Structure formats: structure tokens, C-alpha cells
Chain A
């Protein structure tokens, strides 16, 4: 089974939180959310985003919205107006996380097919 981008089964939005950012990941189906909840751990996200975030990653769950919320503690190069980065507000971190590739089972892929 080839690895596939999680963009196929999830959507995302990100923004700044102090000197870090938050990345919300929304499963595109209940099955997709269940798969992500099991496989998209804080450590997987930390590894994938390691060139962007040099701090810890914390995960929260909101089952009612099929949402996993990740807090990246040091991802803005200082944050606020102290940052020299182009993306000083983490606006693009959501799309960066959607580039992650995982072994996504066929039934999960099928569950989001429109």
C-alpha cells in the first residue's frame, strides 16, 4: 500500500498562538477522523514539522467536530512583530501538515469519496 497525503482525508486551518501556532485538522468523514485520531499523534506531527517548529507539540481532540488540534510551541521565529519569517503567523502550517504521508487504508479513502 503506497503512502498517501493526509490532505485526501482531512482539511486544515492554522494561525498564531503567541510564539507558536495551532494547526486544526478536520477529518473528512467519521472513519477518516478515527484513523487520524489513532495515527496522527503529537510525535508524528512534531517529526513532520521539525524544520518549522523547534518546540514541543501538544494534541487536543474535539470529537464533535471531527477535529484534532495541535499546538506547536515554537514555530514563528519569535512570534508577533519580533519574527523575521515570511509566515510570522503560521497561516501556512495547516497546509504543511496536510502534506504528511501515511499508510491510509482503502476503506478510509473510500469513506471520503464524494
Chain B
């Protein structure tokens, strides 16, 4: 691989335009169009996403990836090439080659030839589970310590969180678009840093700095004023700018956004995101190293610029984290709106009527299997900010359990409240609630030497 001699002075702009599958397409489209950029990263995978994709793939072998990504490429391909913006996306899901084929097809249809597209794989271990267990891997649940045997027969996906180095390798090989399956979110951002600055696996502080940068941008606009406590202070949320990391070789970086976009980048806005999904701040573990989130300093560096420096890191652990999903039963939820007067009293009666009618028909749900919420009376802040004088209430009810038939029996007793309950019951649009699958989440660990990440580069 070649490294530019001016590495020390080089600034690299790495943005994240997608915080989760379902985030606005305007984020990445505007990042490409509204200012300078070197790398666009995109995160499409939540924990349950892999299981949903696995099911799509079983039904149709050419599916099982984030099709939104292909839609995005179709929309911005010309600008990406013109501005030389490279793209790194975990859009591959459980079928990264199908994703790559779809992207190559889009590029070809636009006459964009010679564009290198890489696939990073090796994260999907579903087919090897039994073999790995035979080798002594136990896949005990990291949260509960239970052995995998309890749910082994219902496991629907199993993926290792790969690190940043395979992404860097793909970029080293000239890839302009890198498609991965399951990997760490910060890895999407660390990958280009390793590629651009030639960081080694032993550069623990620098890898940790990349981890902090990746964590700050991984939820898109959540560090630029989205979901911010003092929301009235945030300018122009509708046009909120997505975050950009201005990285340099020593590992220090600036968080910023494109000029003229809405939102804001301040020490508090960045701190808000640093707190998100935080565990022990002194030990943020990724496959590439352990970052200490108590080590660095945050400083204002001009308007919409926050500098992060002094990040300390430690060597990686000998294991990869594995994310597995399994079938964990069924659930159904539904809601009705109940107007006043006496909205809360009527909502309580409605809930009682539903359970009583189901009981009459032989269907009882234990306290663990059912829920009632009176939205408007203080559901989110239960026990803290409740009130009994709401002018209207949304009655939300739900059941769950292993028997699909029993779960499906619930829905048909909710809507009849409109005509056979107290007055003022409405809002039954959307039909009867039906049973949907509960996808269980099983976090585990796997010895690193049993996993072999692979990088393959293709060309349009």
C-alpha cells in the first residue's frame, strides 16, 4: 500500500449520513451536495435487523441487505464520482454480495465504469455455529450467563462484530465503495483513518481516538443538536446538518458540520452523544482496542467546531462480540383513543372489559404477558409525572407469549369497545392488531482466531 508523504498535515473529512435503518435519506444526500467531504459512512444495521434480513433472504435469495443504500447510490452516484467521495456502508446485511451486485448494476446503468466496489465479509457465522460449538465455543449470553443450548434451535442469525482493519484493507486496494455486513459502528469511521494515516494495530491511542470519533457520529444528527435537552436553543432542526469528523494523523480531531446547515456543534451537543448507550466510560470495548472515554478533553474550536484531544486507549481483547437473534414468541399491541369527560376512568374500564371478555372466551394472560398504558396520564414518566385529568387518553394494550393463536385472539376484542364500551372511544384506524414475531437478542463472545474476515474488490 502507498502512503502520501504529507500525511502529518493532511486533514481528512469523514461524515456519517445514516444513524440507523430508517434514518432520513436527506442526511447523506445533503452531505454529498452541501460542502466538502472525503468519506461518507452509513450505518443501516440494528440488532434485530440481521434477523429480519435473514428471513427476507430465505424467501428471496437476492434479498437480505439494506435496499435503501442502493436507492441512495442511485441518487448520488454522479456526485460521489465527481467529488471523489468514498462510501463505507454496513448495508450488506446478511447478503453483501447481492448488495454489491445491485450497486454495480446502478453504476453500470449510469455509465460509471471502473468504479471499485469492495465487499467485507466473514462476520456471518450462522452456518458455522455447530462447528464452532464443537470446537468448545459456548456462546454464553453475556448478560445472563445462560448457555446457548436453551435457544440454539431457534437461532435465526449469528454475526460477529468485525473491526476497522478489513475496511482499511478494502480502501488500500482502491475501493471507492465498501460494503460490509455486521461490524462495529465506529469501525466505519476508523477504517478510513487507518487507510489515510497508516495507523498500526498497536497504535492504541489513535485507534481509541477513532473509536471516540466514530461513537460521536454513529447516530447521525444526535451530536449536532438532535434529541438535545435544550431543544429551543437548536437552530433550524428541519435542515439539521449531519456530523463530519475532521481527522488528522496524530489522532486528534474536530467534530463539525457543513456551513449553512441547521443544528449546532457545541461541547454540550457532542457530550450528549458521548453519553448515548454508554456503559463503563473507562472501558469502551471494540475489536480494535479499548477506548477510555474518561481520558480526553473537549474544547470549542470556533463556531460549530469541537476539538477532541488526548484520547487514551488500551490493547484489544482476545474475543469478538457476537450478536445472535432467535425466535422468542409472539406479541400484539393495539390502541384506541378515549375522549373526555372522565377520559382516564373510561380508559381503565375499557382495559378491564377487554381482559374480561377474553377471559370469558377462555383466554387469560398473566401479568408478565400483558400490558396496559394510559398515554396522556404519564406513561413515559411513570411514578414521576402522572396526572388523572387528561382531556383525552390513548389506551394502548398489548400481549405476548409463545402461543401465536392466543396472541392473535387479543386483537379482535379491542376494536369492539367503540360500540360496546363507554362513550367517546375512537381512533381504531389500522385494523385489528395481529401477532408479530418477537426476535430475541443473544449477545456472546467468540475467540478471534476462529474468525476470518475477507475482503474482495470488484469493478463496475
Chain A contacts to B: CB under 8 angstroms? 7, 11-13, 15-19, 22, 24-26, 28, 48-52, 60-67, 69, 71, 77-82, 84-87, 91-92, 94-96, 98-100
> Smallest CB–CB gap between A46 and chain B, Å?
12
Complex partner residue of B382 from A15, A52, A81, CB under 8 angstroms: A52
Say yes or no: is B81 at the interface (Cβ < 8 Å to chain A). no
Kindly state the separation between the CA atoms of A80 and B328 in the bound complex, as whole angstroms. Answer: 11
Complex partner residue of A80 from B272, B371, B382, B439, CB under 8 angstroms: B439
Chain B contacts to A: CB under 8 angstroms? 47-48, 143, 222, 227-230, 268, 271-282, 293-298, 328-329, 331, 333, 370-371, 373, 375, 379-385, 396, 398-400, 437-441, 443
> Smallest CB–CB gap between A30 and chain B, Å?
13
In the complex, are the beta carbons of B373 and A86 less than 8 A apart? yes
> Smallest CB–CB gap between A63 and chain B, Å?
7
> Smallest CB–CB gap between B125 and chain A, Å?
20
> Smallest CB–CB gap between B344 and chain A, Å?
16
Supply 6 A–B pairs (Cβ within 8 Å), ascending by A. Answer: A13-B229, A62-B293, A81-B331, A85-B373, A92-B380, A95-B229
Chain B residues with Cβ below 8 Å from A66 are: 271
Chain A residues with Cβ below 8 Å from B222 are: 13
Identify the closest chain B residue to A87 (Cβ). B380
Complex partner residue of A19 from B143, B271, B274, B385, CB under 8 angstroms: B143
Interface of A is mostly: mixed
> Smallest CB–CB gap between B408 and chain A, Å?
15
Interface centre among A51, A62, A78, A98 (most CB of B within 10 A): A62
> Smallest CB–CB gap between B365 and chain A, Å?
11
Chain A residues with Cβ below 8 Å from B440 are: 80-82
Identify the closest chain A residue to B274 (Cβ). A65
In the complex, are the beta carbons of A82 and B400 less than 8 A apart? yes
In the complex, are the beta carbons of A13 and B275 less than 8 A apart? yes
Interface centre among A12, A13, A95 (most CB of B within 10 A): A13
Chain A residues with Cβ below 8 Å from B396 are: 86
Chain A residues with Cβ below 8 Å from B274 are: 24, 65, 67
Identify the closest chain A residue to B394 (Cβ). A86
In the complex, are the beta carbons of A48 and B384 less than 8 A apart? yes
Chain B residues with Cβ below 8 Å from A63 are: 294
In the complex, are the beta carbons of A84 and B398 less than 8 A apart? yes
Chain A residues with Cβ below 8 Å from B279 are: 17, 22, 60, 69, 71
In the complex, are the beta carbons of A60 and B281 less than 8 A apart? yes
Identify the closest chain A residue to B233 (Cβ). A114
Complex partner residue of B275 from A19, A69, A98, CB under 8 angstroms: A69
Known contacts: A22-B279, A86-B379. The answer to whether A79 contacts B230 by CB under 8 A is no
In the complex, are the beta carbons of A99 and B281 less than 8 A apart? no
Identify the closest chain A residue to B443 (Cβ). A18
Chain A residues with Cβ below 8 Å from B333 are: 84
Kindly state the separation between the CA atoms of A94 and B425 in the bound complex, as whole angstroms. Answer: 32
Chain A residues with Cβ below 8 Å from B277 are: 15-17, 22
In the complex, are the beta carbons of A80 and B441 less than 8 A apart? yes
> Smallest CB–CB gap between A33 and chain B, Å?
11
In the complex, are the beta carbons of A15 and B276 less than 8 A apart? yes
Complex partner residue of A99 from B230, B282, B384, B399, CB under 8 angstroms: B384
Known contacts: A11-B229, A26-B268. The answer to whether A96 contacts B373 by CB under 8 A is no
Complex partner residue of A65 from B271, B385, B399, B443, CB under 8 angstroms: B271
Known: A13-B276, A22-B278, A51-B383. 12 other contacts (CB 8 A): A13-B227, A28-B268, A49-B383, A63-B294, A64-B294, A64-B296, A65-B271, A65-B298, A69-B281, A81-B331, A82-B328, A91-B227
In the complex, are the beta carbons of B295 and A64 less than 8 A apart? yes
In the complex, are the beta carbons of A96 and B381 less than 8 A apart? yes
Identify the closest chain B residue to A50 (Cβ). B383
> Smallest CB–CB gap between A17 and chain B, Å?
6
> Smallest CB–CB gap between B350 and chain A, Å?
17
Chain B residues with Cβ below 8 Å from A61 are: 281, 294
Chain A residues with Cβ below 8 Å from B380 are: 86-87, 92, 95-96
Complex partner residue of B385 from A28, A80, A86, A99, CB under 8 angstroms: A99
Chain B residues with Cβ below 8 Å from A96 are: 380-381, 384-385
> Smallest CB–CB gap between B328 and chain A, Å?
6
In the complex, are the beta carbons of B275 and A51 less than 8 A apart? no
Interface centre among A12, A60, A64, A87 (most CB of B within 10 A): A64
Complex partner residue of B143 from A18, A81, A91, CB under 8 angstroms: A18
Kindly state the separation between the CA atoms of A80 and B379 in the bound complex, as whole angstroms. Answer: 18
In the complex, are the beta carbons of B371 and A77 less than 8 A apart? yes
Chain B residues with Cβ below 8 Å from A71 are: 279
Kindly state the separation between the CA atoms of A28 and B440 in the bound complex, as whole angstroms. Answer: 38
Kindly state the separation between the CA atoms of A5 and B72 in the bound complex, as whole angstroms. Answer: 44
Kindly state the separation between the CA atoms of A27 and B373 in the bound complex, as whole angstroms. Answer: 33
Complex partner residue of B381 from A24, A25, A60, A95, CB under 8 angstroms: A95
Kindly state the separation between the CA atoms of A92 and B281 in the bound complex, as whole angstroms. Answer: 21
